[in-house]
């Protein structure tokens, strides 16, 4: 008899960041992870993580709503069901619950982790097999201080930790943001690539002005300069400039990816398991992009180690990642809740080894950082 899902527990875990992380819509000093522990009738436990950025400032799901909606609506759809048929369980969640992609991603990750442990296979092997064991990882410079960002970038280069950098802009006047970014690119020169993420902060007219200046400064990639739903504007920007546009919030799933590509968009898509409902949905988007000749970038929601590992297993199955990844989430945290951290070196990170995600919780750390009322 196949194993069934017995229980699903969720925990809110608050971890401090190593420094304030400034985005266009908020500044973070703490990251809250939603940790899922899914236990099965054969004794196997699957682990998952659902994480967003800045409470409700990034999107419609907050850590508290992720936990509540799993506990109240999604977990009852799964408990008592055979746990090995992940496609069936994904469809069941989608049929009975709208949206809630981050919550569904945490549950899908836990299902994959459990099935991998059951079969003695990694999540990457469940998803078709890893094509690389070491993935490139950029670093986001987000202190908001030009001198500090330059010093931080040189330190990361000297440590051989990162050689690509992204800057979060959009909270300040365009001229101030361009001046900040251009100074950093000028200081780094050819030693590193510099990209920017506007986090939807500009309208199209402002974007035209800002992107022209950023292109002149040698910036290599412009992420989500205008609001996500303005597909026509994204297409126009991608066709107007030589510097590529990176669509992030605009492409939640494969259908968004198809719509944008069919409209004439060129550039790249940021993949995120959280916005696509899990690793399987993110790979569906990746395959649409590949068919349309659109580049890929492995994105993050600043997850901890569990969510980062799940993403890495998915990204490792892709034959090309033209723009690398930004899976640095655990490095932004002062501490973690896992027994062994991911291994970052030589400008990237190693794919975790072992069955499932290849990650084990540190129960003492989990108990210490777990929100006592959550």
Residue that is written with structure tokens 């412009």 in the block? 222
d(C-alpha 320, C-alpha 353), whole Å? 21
Is the distance from CB of 177 to CB of 199 less than 8 angstroms?
Answer: no
CA atoms within 13 A on the CB side of 292: 25
Question: Has 168 been annotated as catalytic?
Answer: yes
Beta bridge partners of 367: none
Q: In this structure, are residues 118 and 350 in contact, taking their beta carbons and an 8 Å threshold? A: no
Based on the residue annotation, tell me whether 353 is a catalytic residue of this protein: no
Which of 198, 149, 162 has its CA nearest to residue 23? Answer: 198
Tokens of residue 313, six digits = 């297993």
Determine the 3-state secondary structure of 195 from DSSP. strand
Pairing of the two strands 295-298 and 222-223 = unpaired
Q: How far apart are CA 3 and CA 79, in angstroms?
A: 11
Active-site entry in 49, 108, 223, 326: 326
Q: Rounded distance, CA 346 to CA 286, Å? A: 26
Closest to 306 (Cα-Cα) out of 13, 3, 6, 81: 13
Residues contacting 216, CB < 8 A, separation 6+: none
Q: Up-side HSE of residue 101: CA atoms within 13 Å toward CB?
A: 19
Going by the DSSP 8-state scheme, the letter that residue 361 receives in this structure is B
Q: Catalytic: which of 117, 166, 168, 185?
A: 168
Nearest 5°: the CA angle 140, 142, 147 is 110
Catalytic residues: 168, 326
């Amino acid at each position: 008899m196949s194993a069934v899902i017995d229980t699903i527990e969720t925990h809110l875990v608050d971890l401090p960041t190593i420094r304030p992380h400034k985005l266009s819509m908020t500044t973070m000093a703490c990251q809250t992870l939603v940790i899922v522990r899914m236990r099965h009738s054969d004794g196997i436990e699957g682990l998952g993580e659902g994480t967003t950025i800045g409470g409700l400032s990034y999107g419609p799901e907050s850590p508290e709503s992720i936990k509540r909606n799993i506990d109240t609506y999604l977990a009852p759809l799964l408990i008592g069901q055979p746990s090995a048929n992940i496609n069936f369980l994904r469809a069941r969640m989608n049929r009975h619950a709208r949206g809630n992609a981050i919550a569904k991603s945490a549950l899908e990750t836990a299902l994959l982790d459990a099935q991998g442990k059951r079969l003695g296979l990694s999540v990457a092997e469940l998803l078709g097999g890893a094509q690389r064991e070491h993935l490139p990882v950029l670093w986001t410079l987000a202190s908001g201080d030009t001198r500090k960002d330059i010093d931080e970038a040189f330190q990361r280069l000297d440590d051989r930790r990162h050689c690509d950098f992204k800057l979060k802009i959009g909270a300040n006047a365009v001229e101030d943001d361009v001046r900040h970014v251009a100074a950093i690119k000028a200081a780094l020169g050819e030693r590193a690539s510099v990209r920017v993420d506007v986090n939807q902060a500009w309208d199209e007219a402002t974007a035209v002005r800002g992107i022209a200046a950023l292109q002149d400064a040698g910036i290599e990639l412009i992420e989500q300069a205008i609001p996500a739903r303005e597909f026509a504007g994204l297409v126009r920007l991608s066709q107007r400039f030589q510097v590529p546009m990176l669509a992030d919030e605009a492409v939640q799933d494969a259908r968004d990816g198809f719509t944008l590509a069919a409209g004439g968009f060129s550039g790249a898509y940021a993949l995120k398991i959280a916005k696509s409902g899990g690793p399987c949905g993110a790979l569906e988007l990746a395959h649409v992009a590949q068919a349309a000749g659109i580049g890929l970038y492995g994105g993050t929601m600043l997850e901890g180690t569990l969510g980062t590992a799940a993403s890495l297993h998915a990204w490792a199955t892709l034959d090309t990642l033209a723009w690398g990844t930004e899976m640095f989430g655990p490095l932004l945290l002062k501490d973690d809740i896992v027994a062994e951290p991911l291994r970052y070196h030589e400008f990237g990170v190693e794919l975790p080894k072992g069955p499932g995600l290849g990650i084990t919780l540190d129960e003492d750390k989990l108990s210490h950082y777990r929100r006592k009322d959550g």
